[in-house]
Chains A and B, each alone.
Chain A
């Protein structure tokens, strides 16, 4: 069995993670591990999580994403979550998961701009 992985792309001093497949719990945990490794090896200072491809998001994945943000912070990187779909935002708020402390942005472009501002 080949293990599914989500690609982590390094651009300048940021790591770009684009989630285009349906997230399941194993995949999310693998991503968290991989990202930790990459942050260490690349010494990146910013993480851009693009979730525009996700139509649904359960509480577990949402917690993992929040966890990634806190972990990155400890490793000296800022995280910006971009492209959340309206329906996903509504669901998360209904579930009481407002992801306080996680930076958000509308799309990758603006997310990158925000990251640059945060890293100055």
Chain B
């Protein structure tokens, strides 16, 4: 937001206040004839209401003392714009359409100023007014963007929660089905979840299943090694399973050394090995 905003003269504010109804009429008319009109998303009554409320708040804010948009007298405008921007985003308006709504006020406002003969230093007043409206339009876009960012953030968190389940598949045997790629952040979460599960269940074997992993690189291999090393420090052994032929080829190609980590082709094979270490065996009942 621009901090150094010079005050609009009281003359101009007075003029806008006086002619508020006419300005509003012009504004709504211009919106109704514009290309960006979306009566499919919002009816005319709502549009008139929003326009009226915004113009009223704007006039009040212009008459106030504060020079920048964080000042108390701009709070009503900020709040209103935030509301409008969010509502329009939900209704399906594009950010351009919402910004155009604010920018479309430029024409009727400036026209009134120009046709009035009473205002001194007219050029400066017009520029100031245009600057303010530009800022307001940018603000609506910013609100829109912030909403999007919040959504992305929330989804990311949900995804991370969903993607690190540690399941107990037998007494003393845990399974960690990995889906997607492991970055530093995720690998830390996965390791933490696994170690906590080892601690609480007292499992001695953890099967890390890579069936849902599309590709592997040196970095991810390193993360895996760390998870295995940390589990070993606690006293649990890891078995890697579900390594696909392509991934196995990559591992060989990249000369990644998985050390002495035990690997099995499928989760079933890994489970069999794990059961065997406990001296268990699955047989057909008589």
Flag whether B232 is at the interface (Cβ < 8 A).
yes
- CB <8 Å contact, B226 and A86: no
Q: Is the CB–CB distance between B235 and A93 below 8 Å?
A: no
Q: How far is the CA of A21 from the CA of B191 in the complex (A)?
A: 27
- Docked Cα-Cα span, A90 to B202, in Å, equals 17
Interface set, chain A 99-117, CB cutoff 8 A to B: 99, 104-107, 110-111
How close is B171's CB to chain A, nearest CB, in angstroms? 13
Flag whether A7 is at the interface (Cβ < 8 A).
no
Query: Please, how many angstroms separate the alpha-carbon atoms of A92 and B229 in the complex?
Result: 9
Q: Does A56 contact B (CB under 8 A)?
A: no
Cβ of B50: which chain A residues have Cβ within 8 Å of it?
none
List residues of chain A with CB within 8 A of the CB of B196: 86
Q: Is B204 within 8 A of A89, CB to CB?
A: no
Interchain CB contact under 8 A, B191 and A90: yes
Chain B, interface SS category: helix
B200 smallest CB distance to A (angstroms): 10
Digit string of B232-244 for contact with A (CB within 8 Å is 1, else 0)?
1111100000000
**Are A84's CB and B233's CB within 8 A?**
yes
> Quick check: A98 and B234 within 8 Å, CB to CB?
no
- Closest residue of chain A to B194 (Cβ to Cβ) is A86
State the Cβ distance, A91 to closest chain B Cβ, in Å. 9
Closest to B203 in A: A106
Cβ 8 A contact of B204, one of A84, A92, A99, A106: A106
Q: How large is the interface on B (under 10, 10 to 19, 20 to 34, 35 or more residues)?
A: 10 to 19
Other-chain residue from B198, B199, B233 in contact with A93 (beta carbon distance below 8 A) = B233
Q: Contact at A86–B202, with CB atoms within 8 Å?
A: no
* Chain B residues, CB < 8 A from A89: 195, 230-231, 233-234
> B230 is contacted by which of A93, A110, A111 (Cβ under 8 Å)?
A93
CB–CB B198/A104 < 8 A: no
The contact of A98 among B199, B233, B235, by CB within 8 Å, is: B233
Say yes or no: is A85 at the interface (Cβ < 8 Å to chain B): yes
Q: CA separation between A106 and B232, bound complex, in Å?
A: 9
CA distance A94 to B198 in the complex (A): 19
A83 to B234, CA, bound (A): 6
**CB atoms of B195 and A86 under 8 A apart:** yes
On chain B, the residues within 8 Å of A88 by CB distance are 233
**A82 an interface residue at 8 Å Cβ cutoff?**
yes
Can you report 6 A-B residue pairs in the complex whose CB atoms are below 8 A from each other? A86-B192, A89-B195, A89-B230, A92-B230, A93-B226, A106-B202
Question: What 8 pairs between A and B have smallest CB-CB spacing?
Answer: A86-B195, A105-B235, A106-B235, A89-B230, A89-B233, A98-B229, A104-B235, A93-B230
